[in-house]
Amino acid sequence: MIGDTPLDLETIERIVFEREELVVSPEAQERVRIAAEFVAAEAKKGHAVYGVTTGFGANRDRVIRPEDAEKMQEHLIMSHACGVGPALPTPVVRAMMLLRVAALVQGRSGLRWSTLKLLVDMLNRGVHPVIPEMGSVGASGDLCPLSHMCLPIIGLGEAEYEGHIYPGGAAMEKAGLKPTRLTYKEGLALLNGTQAMTALGFVVAWRFKDLLNCADAIGAMSLEAVAGRTAALDPRIHELRGREGQKQSALNVRRCLEGSALAGAEPGTVDGKVEYVQDSYCLRCMPQVHGASRDVLDHVVGILSTEANAVTDNPLVFPPTDDMPGAILSGGNFHGQPVAMALDYLKLAIAEIGNISERRSAKLTDKYFSEGLPAFLVSNPGLNSGMMIPQYVAAALVSENKNRAHPASVDSIPTSANMEDHVSMGMHAGLHALSILENAEQILAIEYLIASQALDLRENFQLGAGTKAAKDLLRRTVTFMEEDRVMYPDLLKARHLLSSGELARTVGAVI
């Protein structure tokens, strides 16, 4: 139930991914009703209220006739629904719907409970509006994507229902729902907010959480494959740094390597020369790099959690109380800057996980740095290219991520006849974060293939508990490469084990 306590991460996850029913408390419903009645009363008095008795944006000086006030709200939804590009993934759409409800139930927006309940029912019955990904500049909020989200409420647009795309009205009918007509301020209340960029952030954050665990396990496989040292994983080192993410990553890698006969051997001498006592940074500094990204993720989730419980539309409604007269106040809570900057920070954290992973893949495929493994991890190199080109692909994806990691929030472009003259670009930051995440998943999947191939070449050695579980999981669908073959199916299968969460769950159950 939402409406009386802050929306927490666990509730968001259950409703978005597990499709738990969303229930709004009676107290919240009453708040919504009181605010709607106050807005209607103010509108009927003829008071100048932005977006209720006036136009929007640069049209704020245009007075709307009372008989046109309701029509204007539907015109607002229709005119703003001009997004382009591919549709947003269903989890992002569900998160948008949930977060918009969470803002509206606070009773500061002025729409009726009957209208808000229709959005709740759409979410509960699986009516998912088709929302193009491009069209928002992040202020005033995510107007364009939220407009597409609201079209089925008035019987327009398109929506997915039970795996099929239908016209909005038809999807509502199939789900047993009836579109409605909007009234005072309802269109503005529905589409004005930061819920698209925030929803993107939550979905990326959830996937990145699993990817970080995968990165620790796959990195441990690479360290083991070159018979790397484990001294750098000693908890005493990480306690001195005092960073929680770093300590967690070091612990994960240590547990993955428990029982390994390859990793952690003491340095000896060969031909009178001391063997190396330190590994390359991509192995030795795994806890520091992975851990820094963990800390960024925690920070960003905190910002997103605050935004999930914020009221971010405009104007805001304050019905009269015993202590204060009522007011409808124009402000700027719709501006997405806090979320945009946080998502730009998250982009860096994800990109760096891909960056260091590619360096480990390069080390394993280089015969001069792989500690005795054959060139490109295949027999008869020259005739066979082995793992040469997967590392190329990882390098290409890393470079693409570097481009997308440039902060979107440092950009701005004026809109609405210069009335909206500074915007956040938060939606761009979210879309870039999702793209970087998808690339990082593939980069790590390539390292997963390469490290597994390398470990198979280290015959007759006992592997660590976590690394063995990870390699065995891959070998159920991708066999050892004896000689060259078409490899893109292997890359896709390996990536699926990461993106589905199966690798994280499998290793987690062991360590």
Taking each continuous run of H as one helix and of E as one strand, the counts in the chain are 19, 9
303: β partners = none
Give CA–CA dist 312/133, Å, rounded: 20
> Measuring CA to CA, how many Å separate 497 from each of 89, 160, 441, 473, 475?
19, 27, 10, 8, 11
CA angle 421, 425, 431 (to 5 degrees): 160
Give CA–CA dist 459/440, Å, rounded: 30
- Among residues 50, 184, 448, 488, which one is catalytic? 50
Helix (H) or strand (E) holding 36: helix 26-44
The answer to whether 377 and 453 are in contact (CB under 8 A) is yes
Give CA–CA dist 444/356, Å, rounded: 9
Known catalytic membership, residue 50: yes
Give CA–CA dist 313/39, Å, rounded: 14
The answer to whether 353 and 433 are in contact (CB under 8 A) is no
* Owner of token pair 């269109």: 187
> Measuring CA to CA, how many Å separate 112 from each of 32, 80, 420?
6, 21, 28
Q: Quote the tokens at residue 221.
A: 């496989």
Give CA–CA dist 138/58, Å, rounded: 17
128: β partners = 160
For the chain, helix, strand, coil in percent to 5 are 60, 5, 35
Q: Mind telling me the catalytic residues?
A: 50
